[in-house]
Amino acid sequence: DVKVTQSSRYLVKRTGEKVFLECVQDMDHENMFWYRQDPGLGLRLIYFSYDVKMKEKGDIPEGYSVSREKKERFSLILESASTNQTSMYLCATTGASGTYEQYFGPGTRLTVT
Amino acid sequence: RKEVEQDPGPFNVPEGATVAFNCTYSNSASQSFFWYRQDCRKEPKLLMSVYSSGNEDGRFTAQLNRASQYISLLIRDSKLSDSATYLCVVNENNFNKFYFGSGTKLNVKP
């Protein structure tokens, strides 16, 4: 079974803080994704990475950056947290080319006050 | 117009009932289709992939209608444990082209 873990289940940060969310997968998958999920809006892609040090912007990259220094680890960084970044953040991974089934981590519920 | 649309529900059904959800997609270039299940405050989990004309797994059947651009999920003999939100996901065979529906909520009652 694919295992995707995220560093925190719940996080509370103050406006202006720098926030790091980390995701680790144990299946040697190439592709990793960061989404946020908000009621009524579904999942929206922030960034994805298809290899170490490679990244592409998703639909809503503003206010976020990412880092992928090792294949198994994909970090999402909020440079200066704002209240509109309060959300559920989900990391996902897919396997070898030709398969588009995504496996999600347990999510981090971030509250910015 | 949203890329993927689902009826948000909730669908309230008794145990043992058969229930069906539809999901419409707008882009005819879509190639891969999935149903995910999401429990309250948990992550989405892959329920079924729908790659061709349909797929069946126990009590669950997924169908794809390319002409009308929708996929469906049929659940037979509903269980209390089927209560969840069901997300439709569509992909254009491109890793930055996943489109998620907002989900359909199912409540199965005793």
Q: Cα–chain-centroid distance for residue B92?
A: 17
* Interatomic CA distance for residues B64 and B62, integer angstroms: 7
DSSP one-letter code for B15 = T
What pLDDT, on a 0 to 100 scale, did the predictor assign at position B95?
A: 72
Q: Decide if B62 touches A, using CB distance below 8 A.
A: no
Confidence check: pLDDT of A97 > 70: no
Minimal C-alpha gap between A103 and chain B (Å): 7
Q: Which of A81, A91, A94, A79 is nearest to A34 (CA)?
A: A91
Q: For chain B, how many residues are written?
A: 110
Beta carbons of B53 and B64 less than 8 angstroms apart: yes
- CB count in 10 Å sphere of residue A67: 16
- A1-44 confidence digits (pLDDT tens): 668 999 999 999 999 999 999 999 998 888 999 999 998 888 99
User: Would the pLDDT of A98 be above 70?
Assistant: no
Position B97, amino acid: K
Return d(Cα B7, Cα A40) in angstroms, integer: 11
Q: Is the pLDDT of residue A79 over 70?
A: yes
CB spacing of B46 vs A103 below 8 angstroms = yes
| Identity of the residue in B49, B96, B101 whose CB atom sits nearest the CB atom of A101 | B49
How many helices and strands in chain A, by DSSP H and E?
0, 11
Asked if B88 contacts B101 with a C-beta cutoff of 8 angstroms, the reply is: yes
% of chain A at pLDDT higher than 90: 79
pLDDT given at position B43: 95
- Interstrand relation of B98-100 and A64-70 (parallel, antiparallel or unpaired): unpaired
**B95 min Cα distance to partner chain A (Å):** 7
pLDDT confidence tier of residue B107, bands split at 50, 70 and 90 = very high
For residue A50, give the chain B residue with the closest CA: B95
CA nearest B84: which of B44, B37, B28, B41?
B37
Q: Who contacts B49 (Cβ-Cβ below 8 Å, separation ≥6)?
A: A101, B32, B33, B34, B55
A105 Cα to chain B: minimum distance (Å): 7
Each residue of B22-63: pLDDT tens digit?
A: 999 999 888 889 999 999 999 999 999 887 778 899 999 999
Residues on chain A bordering chain B, Cβ-to-Cβ distance under 8 angstroms: 31, 33, 40-45, 48, 50, 56, 58, 90, 94, 100-107, 109
Q: What sign results for the dihedral spanned by CA atoms A49, A54, A57, A62?
A: positive
Between B1 and B100, the more confident residue is: B100
Over 70: is that where the pLDDT of A96 sits? no
pLDDT at B84 over 90: yes
Distance CA A18, CA A12 (A): 12
**CA atoms lying within 13 Å on the CB side of residue B28:** 2
CA distance B45 to chain A (A): 7
Residue B102 touches chain A, beta carbons under 8 Å: yes
Q: Report the distance separating Cα A69 and Cα A73, nearest Å.
A: 7
Q: How far is A17 from chain B (nearest CA, A)?
A: 25
Q: Do B93 and A100 touch (CB under 8 A)?
A: yes
Q: Which of B32, B95, B103 sits opposite A31 (nearest CB)?
A: B95
Task: Determine the residue among A89, A102, A103, A110 to mutate to test chain B binding: the one whose Cβ has the most chain B Cβ atoms within 10 Å.
Answer: A102
Cis amide prior to A39 (ω within 30 degrees): no
Chain B residue with the nearest C-alpha to that of A106: B43
